[in-house]
Structure formats: C-alpha cells, structure tokens
A and B are shown apart, each in its own frame.
Chain A
C-alpha cells in the first residue's frame, strides 16, 4: 500500500520493529500481529553493525538480529512474507543500501511490498542518487527534520521528502523518554508546507502519542518501547500497548481543531 493512501485516515500510528529480532523467522508474524493490533504503517528496521542514530535499545536489537542471521537478502524475504494491508517502510543506514547498489535496493523494496524508505544518516544533500533510484520504483524517500533544523533548511527538507516528513522529537538518539518537550511542539508548529508530519524518537506511551497528535502531527511513531517488549518476549503486552496507543491517537485526532487551509 502507498503511504499517501494510509494518510487519508490520519492521524496514524506508525510502529517500528527491528527485522530479525529475536529471529528472522519470527518477524513476519510479528508484523501481522502489530497490523492487527492497529498499526497503520510498519517501519521495518534493517540491522546495521554501526547504528549511530540509535540508542542502546535498538543497538542491542540490531546485534541480536545480526547474530541470528539477519542480512539484506533475508530482510527482503522476511519483508515479502509479512503480507499485510498497511504500508511497510524500510528503515536503515545508508551503507547497507550503498553496498547492495541503489537501484537494486530500491527494486528489492518494491518487489517485497515496501513502499517507503527512511535512511537516518542520509540528509537530502547526499540523497540525489537514492532519490533517483526510488523514483524509478515508485518508492517514497522520507527525510528527517530535528528541533535544531533551521527554518530555511526545514523548508528544503519538507520540499524534498516524499510520503511524509519524519520529525525527530528531540536531539540525540532513539529511545524512550519521560515527556514531550516544548521544542517538539515548536518543531511541529513551524514546519511549512502540507505534507504529512510524523513525530518519532522518545514516544513510548499512549499519552505521549496523543500529545504529539494534539500538537498538530499527523502520525506518532513508536519504536524503542516495542523493541524492548519484543526483547522481553512480551508480545501480548506489546499488542495491548499498540491498541491503547491507537485509541489515544484517534481520540486526540477527533478532539483536535480542524486544520484550516
């Protein structure tokens, strides 16, 4: 499914998991269960040996997945097997894409039902070649903006992104945090343009998800807490969390004042 189709039903809940953690075989079923619990988009992480944008939780998941045999070939098999009706989005580091070849990677995404890519260490300045490859295979290339992104640059990133704009809720790396910062609200408020905005990094509770939606985001992204629950084998608790977060996101969407223009 295309990302833009999913956003017709905004606000959305986007859920990240690390492919191959705890094992590659477990991933397709996890994706299906998360979709059934209410995830609107699945971000499927491809583990990398040197994940510089990730905190300890996702680093550890990547190490476990690599040790369990996850690699790019297995990743695309697993992604194809995870047959869900919601969009699947790749998330991973640029060297993994570069090593496979940009066209081949984007083509493999399309063939395995992945309709978007998030590459946290690839700012738009370096992304020209991958943008071309993505365009060939009709895959969205999603860029990130952060609270310290200056206004002019924010405008450029909003223009370049496709699918949605990924707003990093705070500076630093991925991982759960206790509250949503004023700088996150400011960032949501100052994004120009009309593309959907999804907020991630540090969202781990239904209240936080509701908060970013109420502040104007079109989607909340939840990651590290899911990875953590999977690591502890608490998949049922994860399903409950996703149901609760989805309900909170929808409720926050209804109470939100209609967007003018």
Chain B
C-alpha cells in the first residue's frame, strides 16, 4: 500500500496532477514549493502553526459520539467537528498554514478565490490577524447568493472583487485569481482554498488539512480502541476529504467514502452539468493547472457544475483524489440536493448540530446507505450550517 502515499514534493499522483500553467506562474509556483518544503522541516515554523491552530483556530476539535444518529442508523457513528473551527469550517486549517508560509516568504498581500464564501472568510480572518492586504475573487452569482459571507469578509478588512467572466462562479474566480497572480507574485501569495490546482497546492493543502485526520485517528483509538470501519466526507475540490483521509491511507480496512454533489440529477446539457460529481462522473482533463477528473464537453470546454451547496459546486476535483479513486482506495458516492437536505434536517433534529450543506451531503449519504458505513463510522462535519439558512429556506419554499 506504500505506493498510495504521496510525498510532499510529488508533482504527480500517478498520471494526475502536474503543472499545466502559463510560464509566468512556473517560477512563483517553484518558489512556493521550495519555501513550503523548507518550512515543513523547520521546528519553529511547525510550533508557530500548532500554536495558532490551538489558540486561534480552536484545535483540536472534538470527535463526538453521535448517540441519536447512531441509534437511528443502527451502528456507532462519530462526528469530527470541523464546524467548531474558528470561522465555522475546516478552511482555516489551510489558510493559517499558507498565510504563515506567505509571511515567511515576505509576501504582503493575499489573494484568494471563494465560492460559498467560506474560504474567503477564512482568508479574510488570517489576513486581518497576520496583517496582510487581502483581496478575494468571488463570482457575481455567488456574491448574490452569499451576501452574509461577503459582509463578513468586508468586516475583517478584505476586499471582495466581483468576477464577471465565464459562468461568474467559483471556477471563474479561480481563473481570475490566477490571472492576478501572474503579475503580482512578487509581493502576493495566492492562497488556494482546496487540494486542487498546480503543484504544490494539492500536497500543501492536503498537509495543512491532514490535522483533521491525525486528530480523528488518535481520538477514535482512544474512544474505541480501534480504527473505524469507514470515514465519510463530502467532496467538492476535496480539501476536507483529503484532510481526514490522508492519515488513514495505509489502513486498508478503513473504507474511505467520498460523497460528491448529485445536484438536481445526473444529466447534463451542452454547457451545464446538473451536478458536481467530477470524481465519479468526470473524465480526464486539465483544469486550473492540473490533470484530473473534470466535467467537460467532448471538445474539452469546461461545463458549469451545479449543487445546492456552493462549496461542492465545482467542475473539477483534486488530482490526488482522482488518483486514489482510480486505485480503488477511495470510493466515490453521490448524494443529490434532496439527500443533502435530509441530512441537514436529520443532524439538526437528532443531535442539535446544524451542518453546512456541504457536510450535509455526507450525512445524507449515511442515512441513505447506512450499511456502507460498517459498525463503527466517522463522518466529517466540515462546516456549520448557519451560512446556509437562507438557501435552505429558499429551497423549501419552492
């Protein structure tokens, strides 16, 4: 199983990954990879990051035994509570790590893309806290559906730049951030929010998020004296999934379940896929700097994805997940909007925990196929659902 573990310096995961970017971005990406690898060996840096994770982000997060959900599903279910991380989602694990790297590299400005706004908020948090000028690219369509998060970012001093190109959603916000970085890399760090994109982003984001899996591993061993039969996580780009999966890759008996957005159904038209299931239903292609599984038309034009959860509404996925899925180590599953809504309500009612609509896909899948979880399961609750209340109310009024 050793071949499944990818080193931090790995540019490729099997045939996936790589560095498909304009020449102007090659030197800054190389500089970032070098700085990151140096810092990850530096004890002072690791201590600084750990202290920030503990005293600022609120780590470790609990691994909570969900008694009522367990009863309903007829098996033991634990929830990894990333919804309790400062900012309301796992996103801060990564933004703290990258912002500290950027600081050490002497950068003074952060740029980021955001879809639902969670990564934008997490970037605004570190921007304010560590003293960066912060600009967040966000699709016009997303700005409209996530007004609260836009205001949260602004409160913390970040500027939100509307993206009017293409489909005016997350993929276009990434395009715009890459275009910005192509001329601003001297003083700017591009803080990519998910385990996708060109090297070193997939490895770096996975490493910073793997604190989730490391904690969960020791917590379940302490609580149950054994590893779980399964771990379930939702997948958009894949940062919370890679974060919780990575420390379990060599534990062959732990089933890793990646739940993608089934959206309105699994159909597609010429320009739009009605889902976000690039891992399960996509084909090989290059998007945002990496060869991975993407949603595209036969000519290679990228399709617009769809999900009620903005954080899963992305037509690509991290290259390492594409590799692990192909190897059969990660099993791809799909939960549609309705299933996610069921998960959203069930967790709220049963446990008094309102999950993010993204995480609700993982919960909904568990409700739908409980036998896939085995006797002892962990579900990653990647974020809290406060941001989604308006979306859910709208959805249910339809």
- Whether the Cβ atoms of A52 and B175 lie closer than 8 Å is yes
Q: Which of the residues A50, A93, A97, A173 comes within 8 Å of B171, measured between beta carbons?
A: A50
Interface residues as binary, B9-32 with A (CB distance below 8 Å gives 1, 0 otherwise): 000000000111111101110000
Question: With an 8 A cutoff between CB atoms, is B373 at the interface?
Answer: no
- Whether the Cβ atoms of B22 and A144 lie closer than 8 Å is yes
Question: With an 8 A cutoff between CB atoms, is A242 at the interface?
Answer: no
**Complex Cα gap A148–B30 (Å):** 12
- Whether the Cβ atoms of B27 and A126 lie closer than 8 Å is no
Q: Give the shortest distance, in Å, between B35 (CB) and chain A (any CB).
A: 16
Q: Which of the residues A93, A97, A98, A149 comes within 8 Å of B27, measured between beta carbons?
A: A149
Interface residues as binary, B168-190 with A (CB distance below 8 Å gives 1, 0 otherwise): 00011001001100110100000
Q: Which of the residues B19, B27, B302 comes within 8 Å of A49, measured between beta carbons?
A: B302
B175 CB contacts on chain A under 8 angstroms: 50-52
**Complex Cα gap A145–B22 (Å):** 9
**Complex Cα gap A15–B52 (Å):** 53
- Whether the Cβ atoms of A125 and B19 lie closer than 8 Å is yes
**Complex Cα gap A50–B171 (Å):** 8
- Whether the Cβ atoms of B26 and A123 lie closer than 8 Å is yes
**Given A49-B166, A50-B175, A55-B179: A99 and B300 interface contact (C-beta under 8 Å):** yes
**Complex Cα gap A160–B21 (Å):** 17
Which of B147-155, B224-232, B281-289, B335-343 forms part of the interface with chain A?
A: B281-289
**Complex Cα gap A94–B22 (Å):** 11
**Given A72-B300, A149-B27: A95 and B286 interface contact (C-beta under 8 Å):** yes
**Complex Cα gap A157–B24 (Å):** 13
Question: With an 8 A cutoff between CB atoms, is A100 at the interface?
Answer: yes
**Given A71-B299, A94-B286: A59 and B23 interface contact (C-beta under 8 Å):** no
Question: With an 8 A cutoff between CB atoms, is A231 at the interface?
Answer: no
Q: Give the shortest distance, in Å, between A217 (CB) and chain B (any CB).
A: 17
B22 CB contacts on chain A under 8 angstroms: 52-53, 120-121, 144, 146, 168
- Whether the Cβ atoms of A172 and B21 lie closer than 8 Å is no
Name A173's closest neighbour in chain B (CB-CB).
B179
Question: With an 8 A cutoff between CB atoms, is B296 at the interface?
Answer: yes
B285 CB contacts on chain A under 8 angstroms: 95, 98-99
Interface hits, A77-134 → B, CB 8 Å: 93-100, 120-123, 125-126
**Complex Cα gap A148–B182 (Å):** 10
- Whether the Cβ atoms of A100 and B19 lie closer than 8 Å is no
A123 CB contacts on chain B under 8 angstroms: 19-21, 23, 26
Interface hits, A160-185 → B, CB 8 Å: 168, 170-173
A149 CB contacts on chain B under 8 angstroms: 23, 26-27
Q: Which of the residues A53, A126, A145, A168 comes within 8 Å of B19, measured between beta carbons?
A: A126
Question: With an 8 A cutoff between CB atoms, is B301 at the interface?
Answer: yes
- Whether the Cβ atoms of A171 and B299 lie closer than 8 Å is no
- Whether the Cβ atoms of A145 and B165 lie closer than 8 Å is no
Interface residues as binary, B232-265 with A (CB distance below 8 Å gives 1, 0 otherwise): 0000000000000000000000000000000000
**Complex Cα gap A94–B21 (Å):** 10
**Given A95-B296, A120-B22, A121-B21: A63 and B301 interface contact (C-beta under 8 Å):** no
- Whether the Cβ atoms of B287 and A145 lie closer than 8 Å is no
Question: With an 8 A cutoff between CB atoms, is A258 at the interface?
Answer: no
**Complex Cα gap A153–B24 (Å):** 12
**Complex Cα gap A100–B285 (Å):** 11
**Given A50-B166, A56-B165, A71-B299: A171 and B286 interface contact (C-beta under 8 Å):** no
- Whether the Cβ atoms of B27 and A148 lie closer than 8 Å is yes
- Whether the Cβ atoms of A52 and B179 lie closer than 8 Å is yes
Residue from B23, B27, B166 with most neighbouring chain A CB atoms (10 Å): B23
Question: With an 8 A cutoff between CB atoms, is A150 at the interface?
Answer: yes
- Whether the Cβ atoms of A150 and B27 lie closer than 8 Å is yes
**Complex Cα gap A90–B23 (Å):** 18
Question: With an 8 A cutoff between CB atoms, is A66 at the interface?
Answer: yes
Name B291's closest neighbour in chain A (CB-CB).
A98
A146 CB contacts on chain B under 8 angstroms: 22-24, 27
- Whether the Cβ atoms of B23 and A98 lie closer than 8 Å is no
**Complex Cα gap A63–B271 (Å):** 12
Name A47's closest neighbour in chain B (CB-CB).
B301
B185 CB contacts on chain A under 8 angstroms: 148, 171
Q: Give the shortest distance, in Å, between A102 (CB) and chain B (any CB).
A: 12
Name B178's closest neighbour in chain A (CB-CB).
A52
Name A55's closest neighbour in chain B (CB-CB).
B179
Q: Which of the residues B23, B27, B166 comes within 8 Å of A168, measured between beta carbons?
A: B23
**Complex Cα gap A53–B178 (Å):** 8
Interface residues as binary, B287-298 with A (CB distance below 8 Å gives 1, 0 otherwise): 111010010101
Question: With an 8 A cutoff between CB atoms, is A48 at the interface?
Answer: yes
- Whether the Cβ atoms of A100 and B27 lie closer than 8 Å is no
A66 CB contacts on chain B under 8 angstroms: 301
- Whether the Cβ atoms of A99 and B24 lie closer than 8 Å is no
Name A166's closest neighbour in chain B (CB-CB).
B23
- Whether the Cβ atoms of A171 and B296 lie closer than 8 Å is no
- Whether the Cβ atoms of B179 and A172 lie closer than 8 Å is yes
Q: Which of the residues B24, B288, B294 comes within 8 Å of A172, measured between beta carbons?
A: B24
- Whether the Cβ atoms of A171 and B20 lie closer than 8 Å is no
B289 CB contacts on chain A under 8 angstroms: 121
A153 CB contacts on chain B under 8 angstroms: 26-27
Q: Give the shortest distance, in Å, between B288 (CB) and chain A (any CB).
A: 8
Known A-B contacts: A56-B165, A63-B166. Give 18 more (CB < 8 A): A50-B172, A50-B288, A52-B179, A59-B166, A66-B301, A71-B301, A93-B300, A98-B291, A99-B285, A122-B20, A126-B18, A148-B27, A149-B27, A150-B27, A168-B24, A171-B182, A172-B179, A173-B179
Interface residue ranges, B against A (CB under 8 Å):
18-24, 26-28, 165-166, 171-172, 175, 178-179, 182-183, 185, 284-289, 291, 294, 296, 298-302
Closest CB pairs A-B (n = 9): A99-B300, A172-B183, A96-B300, A53-B22, A49-B301, A95-B286, A95-B300, A146-B24, A171-B183
Q: Provide a sorted-by-A list of 11 A–B residue pairs whose CB atoms are within 8 angstroms.
A: A53-B182, A72-B300, A97-B300, A144-B22, A146-B22, A148-B24, A149-B26, A149-B27, A157-B23, A168-B24, A172-B182
